[in-house]
Amino acid sequence: MHPLLEKLAPQLLWKHFDEIRKIPHGSKNETAIAQYVISVAKRNNANYSQDAVGNIVIRKSATPGHEKAPMMILQSHLDMVCEKNSDVEFDFTKDAIQLAVKDGWLTAVGTTLGADNGIGVAASLAVLEDKTLVHGPLELLFTIDEETGLTGAGFIKPDFLKGRKYLNLDSEEEGVFTIGCSGGADTTITLPISREKAPAGTRLQIKIAGLKGGHSGIDINAGRGNAIKLLNRVLWDLDMEIPIAIASLQGGNKRNAIPREAVAEIIVPSAKVEAARLVLDKAMEELKFEFRTIEKDLRLEVKTIEAAKGATLTNSSKKQILNLLYALPHGVLHLSQEIPGLVETSTNLAILDTKEKEITIGQSSRSSVGSALAATRKKIKATAELANATVNQPDGYPGWTPNIDSEILKISKEAYQACFNKEAQVAAIHAGLECGIIGEKFPGMDMVSFGPDLKNPHSPDEKVNIASVERFWKHIVKILEMTA
């Protein structure tokens, strides 16, 4: 065992974590770690099954006398995110994660640690091996490929699990129980455009920059500026005053990020360049005031560029795109009625791209309520169709609506109180979790998610608080005992 882990409690959990860190297990490379999990099942004479994609369920019989207790599911995901600092030599398909400890936190050396979700996997295996625990019948579920689209959970068949009480071990703040997440779905809008010979005039590049951006779910309630929306606003105002021609509009690059930059190439009559700058300055003054505390670095860059190639949009195509971008929704649409401050429904106008014959717009929407997500997508479709644009809306993934009356939540809270003599908090997140998918497949599944203190997951700064892992373990043990 690694010397840094030798003295940590609980030993059984850390022993498994030590094995897991030696087995490469990035997303979509879970075969070896799955073999390890199965080897532990075999060693303990436990029944197990593995489905076609690689998800595993191990069944542990109840402690004698507790066979009638409800079946509990403990779930973790097998894969980890592989990120390293550029100056570190490391092969995620071969090398063991190197460990370091600082101020009570376990980290890796220049790479992700895989505590997300290796600690959850190790805890489940420790539950399997520990003969001293008191519990009802258990299903230990290990999913594959959580990190690149929740696909393992997506493949689980209805007969794979018998239990209806579900502990997800993949949360990141000890003492906080997650009881909800959002579902999500994308829309791609395609607006056909016509072009004509570019008018004479001065060609300007207009760029919105300096915005904070951020995660399209977690950060959507921060009130940050959307570069595409802001660019469109200044162009709209400009077009009201001075007849402009648009050559192209670009902005954003990731569906799950709020766009930080957007840029337009336009032509204004040369005699009107100064007047155009005044209109833009006024529009920017308004925006800067609206975002005065949130987006202090917001700026508009205007520069004259070479009178280059290419035709510009016809007047009617120009009006269509400017109006469409103005009308499309972006931001928080609805707040949770159960959890103060939690966003229930939102949408992110994420990507704008101009090609020769069409302009495409990518939008990602989220909600913890399925019908509200569907309604948001219909609103986007309706708006797009008013501009004679078409939409493509592939299936999304489902959310998990918070149930504050959940029985497993009540037991988890009582167990936490019993262990630590303090109250746990309850939260939900505006992003996707495996519980959303599981909840949709298994109606009536009663779920809660928790975990140890974990900071900076998915980055080489990932670290897990050692003392919180021991509390996490005690809490699991108590929940099992209370439901037995």
Binding site for Zn ion (CB under 5 A): 116-117, 170
CA angle (226, 232, 235) in 5-degree steps? 140
Closest to Zn ion by CB, 79 vs 239, is 79
The nearest distance, CB 53 to Zn ion, in angstroms, is 18
Question: Is residue 275 exposed (0-12), middle (13-18) or buried (19+ Cβ within 10 Å)?
Answer: middle
Q: Are 469 and 171 in contact (CB under 8 A)?
A: no
- Smallest distance from the beta carbon of 78 to Zn ion, in angstroms? 10
- CB of 168 vs Zn ion, minimal distance in Å: 9
Measured distance between the N- and C-terminal CA atoms of the chain, rounded to whole angstroms: 33
> Which residues fall within 8 angstroms of residue 360, CB to CB, at 6 or more apart?
188, 189, 190, 191, 351, 352, 353
Rounded to a whole number of angstroms, the minimum distance from the CB of residue 147 to Zn ion is 7
Quick one: 114 or 137, whose CB is closer to Zn ion?
A: 114
Q: Given the complex with Zn ion, which of 116 and 453 has the nearer CB atom?
A: 116
Place of tokens 């929704």: 329
Residue 308 CB neighbour total at 10 angstroms: 9
List b or e across 77-99, with b for residues whose CB sees 16 or more CB atoms inside 10 angstroms.
bbbbbbbbeeeeebebeeeebeb
Catalytic residue check, 79: yes
Closest CB to Zn ion among 116 and 265? 116
| CA distance to 31, 34, 74, 174, 222, per residue, from 426 (Å) | 35, 32, 19, 11, 21
Q: How far is the CB of 345 from Zn ion (least distance, A)?
A: 24
Structure tokens at 97: 């994660």
Strand, coil or helix: what is 445?
coil
Q: Which residues have CB under 8 Å from 271's CB, separation 6+?
A: none
Phi, psi torsion values for 137, nearest 5 degrees: -65, 140
CB of 62 to Zn ion, least distance (A): 28
145 is catalytic: no
Smallest distance, Zn ion to C-beta of residue 433, A: 9
β-pairing, 176-181 with 425-429?
Answer: parallel
Within 10 angstroms of residue 128's Cβ, the number of other Cβ atoms is 23
Residue found under tokens 């670290």? 463
**Which is catalytic among the residues 18, 145, 146, 172?**
146
Burial of 302 (0-12, 13-18, 19+ CB in 10 A): middle
In whole angstroms, how large is the CA radius of gyration of the chain?
26
Of 30, 79, 145, 462, catalytic: 79
β pairing state of 245-251 and 331-335? unpaired
Asked whether the beta carbons of 178 and 280 are under 8 A apart, the reply is: no
In degrees, rounded to 5, the angle at the alpha carbon of residue 36 between the alpha carbons of residues 31 and 39 is 125
Least Å from the CB of residue 420 to Zn ion: 24
- Residues annotated as part of the active site: 79, 146
